[in-house]
Structure 1
Amino acid sequence: MQALAQLKILDFSTLLPGPYASMLLAHMGAQVLRVQAPRPDMVKFLPPQIQGQSAAFWQLNAYKQEIALDLKQAQDVAKAKSLIQEYDIVIEQFRPGVMQRLGLDYETLAALNPRLIYCSITGYGQTGPYRERAGHDINYLALSGLADYSRRQNQAPVPQGTQIADIAGGSHHAVMSILAAVIQRQSTGQGQHLDISMTDAAFALNAMTGAAALAGGEAPSAENGWLNGGTFYDYYATSDGRYMAVGSLEPVFLAKLLETLAISADYLPLFQDFDPKSQTQAKALLTQAFQQQDFAYWCARFAQVDACVEPVLTFTEACQHPQIQARALIDQRLGFPQLSPPFTLQDQPEATT
């Protein structure tokens, strides 16, 4: 039996945060019915197109069922309400107040089904002065403080390669909250309204640096921390312009790093001194060492050394990496390659879209 086979989810969301959350739940066995509105999901039209919809849309929705509803039409709103008797979880991603105007807010639907778990994913949450303000991933990261210290000193913040606030903030926190609410419902018999704010969740990702700053420590800023470029824990260019990632913080790994790079062990205290001047010197030694050989050389060299040093791969290279392949992270069940779910459960569902 699939892990979440008893859960039936009515998903009103589009784009990324909600669909990614319901995708994860579908991979765990939940029955997800995606509501297709007259205004189509823009993700569906991204390139490349496969069988009339984008590869990204397939990724997010291949394990869900679909129903077409125009929520501006009374008969379709009535149809959605009738589904609430059967579907006990709702995911929606509209701005606060929209579902209320449609007659599909939590209070209305909970009156029809008190066991309903209703998850609202928004940029800023259901309360506060920004509750109705538009935003995207880049805005939530900016307001959370993360973007400011995730950059080089005296350089502009860099747009991230993936949507951190949308996924790590919205999608993952939605899934965790939904599953927690399901467990609580088993004891109480009652559902609840879950208020997921992507800005809240992004702010919470400041866990280590934020905790230190709030306790009276130094506020995080560009390249002033152990893990954001303030130490030798960093990326280093090879002679041909590729990069190696060095995370050799522990003494045993640091010793192996210096040995592999032919840097004298006499410099070990320099690397372990977290004074900024010492770290600047340590990084200069690593920069010079990595510049002596090309990317292929260092890949081969560190493949034999357990020192927390890995190559910075392109996505194509990552797909071909033996660890990625051994973990079966490329899903071929649709007849074309997609990303597999990053967890293993018995009896995972088949694609349906």
Structure 2
Amino acid sequence: MSEARQGPLAGVRVLELAGLAPGPFAGMMLADHGAEVLRVDRVPAVTDKPRADVMDRGKHTIGLDLKSPEGVAAFKELARNADVVIEVFRPGVAERLGIGPDDLHAVNPRLIYGRMTGWGQDGPLAPTAGHDIDYIAISGVLSMLGRDGGKPTPPINILGDFAGGGLMLAYGVLLALFERERTGRGRVIDAAMVDGAAILFSMFYHGVQSGYWGPRGTNLLDTGAPQYDTYETADGQYLAVGSLEPQFWDAMVSLMGLTDLPDRHDREQWPALKARLAEEFKRMTRAEWEAVFDGSDACVSPVLSMAEAVGHPHNVARGSFVDVDGIHHPSPAPRLLGEPDQDLSPATRLEDLSAWGIPAEDAAKLRSQGVLA
């Protein structure tokens, strides 16, 4: 991996305390745009190698025993030379280890301390365990997801862990970096997945309270409407229909050769219209329908598997995916036009810590003590 990273965050040093999905995702978002990210793992066996996870691309790693005084002292030295720390423990754990915000700001007042939790740093649930599904549940978001008559259905762990968690933390880090240019001081970021999930649904809170948005699965954008849903094709594949506006709907039904359809503006007619579309789409295979809609404004797209998405002509033309050591990665996003390509190589162990404030002889001593790996 290249030592010198490029991009708008070049020169920004990030210490990422190893953890589950949202922390590594935030670190990846920063590394993708030039930040130098050093992930601090627990001390592993000598034969252990860094994970080859997509979210660890472009990073360096070390193992450090944070339960030893020597490991804590070493971490503080790393923090002295860092711009950002990403911390993923339950509230109070970092303080007990001696690496909480106050501990690190004492050695580096410019440090941005990003705290990633599910429930946040305070509140009655803060000290308890949870997962993505729990955080989106109490934010009200999970109640909105699912089909009419069905139970609430979580969209895997995208909303809480990644969008409401990791992405919001990365956004908070950028805000704090921007602010630091004016103030010269760091800041503590309290990124809670329950908060992040809630704000992602900002558009819908008024709709629910005003009565415009009804029970899950009965609305325009949640599979209630025939013009915004998925339909099975003759070969057991699926098409996604998003023909909301009149011109897009007209394009779709015209290309399908449909006439005398129930009124799509009449909610009472939605079930009948859905049934008619479902019957029609099952007439042909997905590929045949793709040919029908190719190049049109019908807003009908094939539902591709992740393997198929890599080879779709549009994704290929844009370079939406990149091969890294035989693994397909999504390319960094968003795109900053003119930004150089980043090194997306898998994480590698960082042997030389001198640039991070730990001379070679001190690192060798820590290794001999089993504190540093």
TM over 0.5: yes
Aligned residue in 2 for 1:141: 136
Deviations 1:220-278 (A, max 9, x none): 522122100121111111123221111001111010011112112x548x12x1x4212
1:128 aligned partner, one-letter code: G
Aligned residue in 2 for 1:327: 318
1:21 aligned partner, one-letter code: A
The CA deviation at 1:299 is: 1.6
Aligned residue in 2 for 1:73: 68
Deviations 1:105-149 (A, max 9, x none): 111211221111100000010011111111111222222222222
The CA deviation at 1:336 is: 4.5
**Match among 295, 305, 313 for residue 296 of structure 2:** 305
**Match among 224, 232, 244 for residue 230 of structure 1:** 224
Instruction: Let me know the Cα RMSD of the aligned residues.
Output: 2.0
In the alignment of these two chains, the number of paired residues is 336
Distance in 1 separating the partners of 2:328 and 2:144: 36
Distance in 2 separating the partners of 1:305 and 1:237: 20
Q: Residues 186-335 of structure 1: matches in 2 within 5 Å?
A: 186-214=181-209, 216-218=210-212, 220-232=214-226, 233-264=228-259, 267=261, 270-271=263-264, 273=265, 275-334=266-325
- Asked whether 1:347 is paired with 2:347, we answer no
Partner SS state of residue 106, structure 2: helix
TM-score by length of 1: 0.89
Q: Residues 163-202 of structure 1: matches in 2 within 5 Å?
A: 163-202=158-197
2:331 aligned partner, one-letter code: S
Deviations 1:73-110 (A, max 9, x none): 00010011111221021101100000010111111211
* Identity in percent: 38
| Residue pair 2:44, 2:63 contacting (<8 A) in 1 also | no
Q: Residues 56-67 of structure 1: matches in 2 within 5 Å?
A: 57=53, 59-67=54-62
Distance in 2 separating the partners of 1:258 and 1:219: 27
Distance in 2 separating the partners of 1:61 and 1:36: 12
The CA deviation at 1:160 is: 2.5
Distance in 1 separating the partners of 2:334 and 2:12: 19
Q: Which runs of 5+ in 1 are unaligned?
A: 41-50
Partner SS state of residue 158, structure 1: coil
1:203 aligned partner, one-letter code: A
- Asked whether 1:111 is paired with 2:106, we answer yes
| Residue pair 1:124, 1:198 contacting (<8 A) in 2 also | yes
Distance in 2 separating the partners of 1:246 and 1:118: 43
| Residue pair 1:152, 1:223 contacting (<8 A) in 2 also | yes
Partner SS state of residue 189, structure 2: strand
Partner SS state of residue 190, structure 1: coil
Aligned residue in 2 for 1:33: 38
The CA deviation at 1:69 is: 0.8
**CA, structure 1 residues 320+175, in 2 after alignment: closer, same or farther (shift >3 Å)?**
same
